[in-house]
Chains A and B, each alone.
Chain A
Amino acid sequence: MKISDLELMLYSDGELDEERARRVRVARLRHLEVGERLDGIERVGAFVRFWAESEGVDARAVRSRALRSAARRRAFGAVAAALVLLAAAAEPMRMPRPLEVALAKAPPVAIESVDFGEGVGTVFVVEAGDSVTPVVWLEDDARAGG
């Protein structure tokens, strides 16, 4: 029967239930290697407890802070996931669909290029009802005939 390091650490800290603690005790009796690992874990535990006492570290407070921090991270993760889902659901309503862009109506008449030469002119459209008519307006001066 294989007993994990975690199981041994929990046993050393007295955090196993009765049945799991019994299995560790049986394994320790039957397998010398399990007893050696458990001795090592208890030595490390004793060293950590000694260091915590000498430094004034409250292991219980550290543990509760760590638990609260983990809870906050989980809550933040849930909120972030909800926002991502909301954005993903809202996005198709805001963005124009590619098909609509492709089918956008082209103007019936488009002035593609104008060269006014030495004169002055402008290009604009006149909207009247449904029609949009492009206009090239030339500024004429004394050059005009008639």
Chain B
Amino acid sequence: MRLALLVPVVACLFAAPAAARPAHPAPLGEPAPEAQKHFAEILVLHATNEKKGIDRRIGEMPELTKPPFSSYDSYTLVDRGRLPLEKGVPKTFVLPNRRVLEAKLVDVLANGSVRLSASINQPGGKEFLPLLEVKAKIGQPFIVAGQSYKNGILVLVIRVVR
């Protein structure tokens, strides 16, 4: 009789800590991916054919030397932004052409990737790019280009960083 009582008690003692632990605990000193702060880093480039070359502040960007970007010979960094992202909360960034870029962290994935949604709107006007959904690894850029601006176009280089 005492043995019959002892077995469930011992089983509970072993099971309780295991149930309380997460399946894959984060290493000590490193917060869980959900808890880490994410930022949308935005470079706003102005592409023209003014024979100025590529602005040094842009840094290493070999994509600008490849078609169709190579059809412009000058790239100037006109603005840069760093939006703190919160899951489900849209953040905005005003572009030089007065359109508004809105970015929202949709999800933080387990493999070091995030799902981000973005849109570009014209205040008081129509939506220019109603929706863009991207799954990106941290630090990997994607480009939104083509908006007309001062005898050239705007090239937005967007990456999510921590």
Contact = CB atoms under 8 A, between A and B. Distances in A.
B63 A133 contact: yes
Contacts of A117: 126-130
A136 B130 CA distance: 13
A126 to B, nearest CB: 5
Contacts of B120: 138
B148 A146 contact: yes
Interface in A104-146: 106, 108-119, 121, 126-129, 131, 133-141, 143-146
Given A140-B147, A143-B126, A127 B96 contact: no
Interface string B96-138: 1111000000000001000100001010011111111111110
Q: Closest 3 interchain pairs by CB?
A: A144-B148, A128-B62, A145-B97
A136 B145 contact: yes
Interface of B: 62-63, 65-69, 96-99, 111, 115, 120, 122, 125-137, 140-150, 153
A116 B129 contact: yes
A105 to B, nearest CB: 11
